[in-house]
Structure formats: C-alpha cells, structure tokens
Structure 1
Amino acid sequence: MAITFKYLITILFLTVVIRGSSYCSLNNINIGTTRSGRIIDGKPEWNVVLINNCSCVQSHIRLACKGFRSVENVNSSILSIQGDSCLLINGYPLKGFDTVRFSYAWDPPFLLMPTSSRIYRC
C-alpha cells in the first residue's frame, strides 16, 4: 500500500511539473525593433521581429499600436491596424518559437506591445 501511494504521489508531482513548464502567457510574446539603415521618404526604416517565445501556440495576437503610421507599405495580412490596436497575421496561430517579421518607416519608432492573445495548451 505504501509503495502504491509513493508511486501515485510521484506521478501527481511529475504531472504538475510538466504542466507548469509548458505554461505560456502574453509575456512570451517578445518584440524587437531595430533600425535597418535605410531611409524611405525621409523616414528611417525599422525592422520588427515578433517571436512566440514559448512552446504553446498563440493566436489572435493583438498589439497596442496607437497612432501607428508608416510611409512604407506594411502588408495588412501581417499587421492589420484596427483603431488603437493591431491584429497580427489576421489572428492566425503563431506556433511555439515561430517569428513574424515586418518593416515600417517612421520617426520616431513606435513602441509595439502585446495586449492580448489566445493561448492553446501544448
């Protein structure tokens, strides 16, 4: 009986550890912005790399992008501006550790921050 109890406790502990290690949050969406060195219509170009830094899939990723503008065309299937919010890749899933890249030209650069997403268990 004691051995069965030990095995049960061990299995429960490992289940909690495994579940805890695969938990993702909005904080796992990391955004980096770097200057490309190009000038477009008098504005510096910025390269944006967004990564889902977790093994779980996240979809319907929204970014705060109040006042976002660009003299360079940004593909709306990558970044769709909807008021003060932007929808990333039309809401489609971004797999774990996948990236999305786009460029825009404006001065100064915009601070793009994730505001919401749907997170799926992995």
Structure 2
Amino acid sequence: MAIVPMSFILILFLSLISKGFCACSLDNININTIRSGREIQGKPEWNVTVINNCNCPQKLIKLTCKGFQTVENVNPSILSKEGDKCLLIGGNQLVRSASVKFSYAWDPAFIFWPSESSIVNC
C-alpha cells in the first residue's frame, strides 16, 4: 500500500525537476556585439552573435530594433525588421547552444535585446 503514495511522490518530483530543466527565459538568449575593424561607407562595422543558451530549442526569436539603421545590407533570412522588432532567422528554431551571426555598419553601435521567443519541444 505504501508503494502507491511513494510512486506518486516520485513522479511528482521527477516532473518538477524536468520542468526546471526546461525552464527558459529571454535571459537564455545572449547577444554579443563586437567591432570588426572594418568600415563600410565611413561607418564602423559590427559583428553580432546571438546564442541560444537554453536547454531547449527556441523559435520566433524577436529582438528589439527600434531605430536600428545600417549602411551594410543584412540578409533578411537572418534578420528582418518588422516595425520596432527584428525577426531572427525567419522565425525558425535555434537549437541549444547554437548561434546566428550577422554584421551591420552604423555609428554608434546598436544594442539589441531579446524581446520574444517560443520554446520548442521541451
């Protein structure tokens, strides 16, 4: 008879652990911007790397980009501006520990922040 309550407690415990393992937030999307050393049309070029540090894939990743400008073309399949937000990789998923890179040229550097994402199959 003690097996049933003990089994229930074990299942509950494992369920809570697995939820914690997959708990992700926008803090798990890291964005690094560094100067490349090149200039494009008199503007410094910046290399941006977006990394998914969540244990789960994320999709529909949007970055804040109100006021973002560049004189260097950014491939729209990597970063497409939609109003005050930019969609990363066409909304496709970015798996655990994967990164996406793009470059732009403007002065001063633009600070991107993750604003939205959806967790996939966690």
TM over 0.5: yes
Match of 1:103 in 2: 103
State how many pairs are aligned: 122
Aligned-residue identity in percent: 58
> 1:3 & 1:64 partners in 2: Cα distance?
52
Q: Deviations over 1:28-71 (max 9, x none)?
A: 11101011111111111111000111121211111110111111
Q: Kindly state the Cα deviation for residue 83 of structure 1 after the two structures are TM-superposed.
A: 1.9
CA RMSD of aligned residues (A): 1.3
CA contact (8 A) 2:33 2:46 kept: yes
- Give unpaired runs (5+ residues) of structure 2: none
TM-score scaled by length of structure 1: 0.91
Q: Kindly state the Cα deviation for residue 103 of structure 1 after the two structures are TM-superposed.
A: 0.6
CA contact (8 A) 1:52 1:94 kept: yes
Segments ≥4 residues shifted beyond 2 Å: 2-8
Q: Determine whether 1:91 maps to 2:91.
A: yes
> 1:117 & 1:18 partners in 2: Cα distance?
20
> 1:80 & 1:17 partners in 2: Cα distance?
37
Match of 1:8 in 2: 8
Match of 1:44 in 2: 44
TM-score scaled by length of structure 2: 0.91
Determine helix, strand or coil for the equivalent of 2:71: coil
